[in-house]
Chain A
Amino acid sequence: MAVDKQFIDGTLALDAQEDTLNFMERVGFAKTINYTESPGDHPDGMKVNQATLDDVPLGQKVKPLHLEAVDDSASAASVIADQLRAGRVVVFHDTVFVSGEPTMVIGFR
């Protein structure tokens, strides 16, 4: 399966980024396997995140992606616990730009 990298505007709010990623996963028949702030210098100081999408085969069910922002390690533990109780599993966690600010984000599915 091919891996594709796409850029997401880091000035968007977290729910808008979540919707954008879910949209791309559906129309592109892919699933996000990593999400991080885009490395390197960008023109005009743009704040950009980079999603890594992996193609899925025909018919494979991909659960919707859900993003949660966390402030520190303490809240991360409770966020993960809440999501696990809701039947979701952690897909990735990394620092990404949310509304232009670097934020620790955990992706669940």
Chain B
Amino acid sequence: MRSTSSSARIQSCGLLLLLLGTTGCAGRLERPKLLRLVTTEIYTYTTFTTDLENYNGASDEATRRRLRDHMAYGVMAEIERVYRNYETSLFMNRGTFNVASDFVQLGLSTATTVTNGERGKTILGALLSGVTGVSLSYDKNFFRQQTVQAIISSMQAARNQVKARIISRLGTQDTAEYPFEAARADLIELFFAGTLESGLQELHQEAATAAASSKQELKTAVPASKQDVTNAVSVNEAITAALQSNNPDDRRKVVDFLNALGANVTTTTPVETLFEQSRQVGRATYTDADKRKKYFDAARQAGLIH
């Protein structure tokens, strides 16, 4: 009995420790340290300038393509390295990072992953030479609503798109179709896709698109009056009777009615099609008052209702 009780106590303590450990971890969620491979520059500025000189001087396509790919992948790796460092610093400091105020402090036109001072004689310095960054018209209220995680996800999504395009073009296009100059333009785009400006811009566009589409989807039905319902019952019964009848004159009324509303049917059109078309022109009146009026006018003119 005693041993059972202490065993239960031990189990309870173990469970408690496990729970404490779990919640502690959740509260101190951290990213693993980045590998030196990621934090250290490997494709150097000197290598890059040598590759570029050789690329410009090469006459055969095989050499030019090899050097183009070497430069493009080398620069891409550097962009990746800088981006990962930046993303990690954003993520680690997310609790104290205030999007609205910190973004303004960073400076709207220079809030990129690498400041001008750091660029110096680096690959990115060479890549971004003469590039001033993207300008952004912003709404402070919109910025305040964003979290660092949302911005990081947005930046990553934009980067993935550009990266996929570069890799695809390097793999399929020769240097005539996709020279290093074109690759450089794409690499600059890749770099700026990993900046705060881009992340926020992307989020802003997504929010605007989502708002527009949800407004479009939310077209409510035009309220119907008692008279509308009475007329709708009459049209429904008239169409049903005409399509079930063998009298060509009755079917002619439905055909005239449908054609007046933009359909293209004849008395030889199968009944199933005429019925489906009747359903479609009816549905078009749900959210459109003008179409509803035309629907009843056409029904009267065709002799379906009086």
Contact = CB atoms under 8 A, between A and B. Distances in A.
A19 B223 contact: yes
Contacts of A38: 218
Interface stretch (B132-140, B172-180, B183-191, B236-244): B236-244
B224 A46 contact: no
Contact of A58 (B226, B271, B283): B271
B215 interface: yes
Say which size band chain B's interface belongs to: 20 to 34
Contacts of B287: 6
Nearest to B279: A29
Interface string B261-283: 00000000001100100110011
A43 B235 contact: no
Nearest to A42: B218
A66 to B, nearest CB: 12
Nearest to A58: B275
B218 A23 contact: no
B215 A26 contact: no
B223 A27 contact: no
Nearest to B281: A27
B240 A23 contact: no
A58 B273 CA distance: 11
Nearest to A61: B240
Query: How many A residues touch the partner, as a band?
Result: 20 to 34
Contacts of B286: 6, 24, 27-28
A20 B221 contact: yes
A92 B142 CA distance: 41
B271 to A, nearest CB: 7
B33 interface: no
Contacts of B219: 7
Given A27-B283, A42-B214, A58 B223 contact: no
A26 B233 contact: yes
A19 B286 CA distance: 12
Most buried by B among A9, A23, A28, A48: A23
A7 B278 CA distance: 21
Contacts of A103: none
A8 B218 CA distance: 9
Contacts of B240: 58-59
Contact of B244 (A4, A27, A59): A59
B283 A43 contact: no
A22 interface: yes
Given A27-B295, A43-B218, A58-B240, A22 B283 contact: no
Given A4-B283, A26-B233, A28-B283, A20 B223 contact: yes
Contacts of A59: 240, 244
A58 B221 contact: no
B223 A22 contact: no
B224 A48 contact: no
Contacts of B222: 20
Interface in A69-107: none
Contact of A9 (B214, B223, B285): B223
Interface string B282-296: 110111000000010
Contacts of A27: 232, 235-236, 282-283, 285-286, 295
B26 interface: no
A38 B235 CA distance: 30
A19 B292 CA distance: 15
A6 B221 contact: yes
A24 B272 CA distance: 20
28 contacts: A7-B219, A7-B221, A9-B220, A9-B221, A9-B223, A12-B223, A19-B226, A20-B224, A23-B224, A23-B232, A24-B221, A24-B286, A26-B235, A27-B282, A27-B285, A29-B275, A29-B282, A30-B279, A38-B218, A42-B214, A43-B211, A43-B214, A43-B215, A48-B218, A58-B240, A58-B244, A58-B272, A59-B244
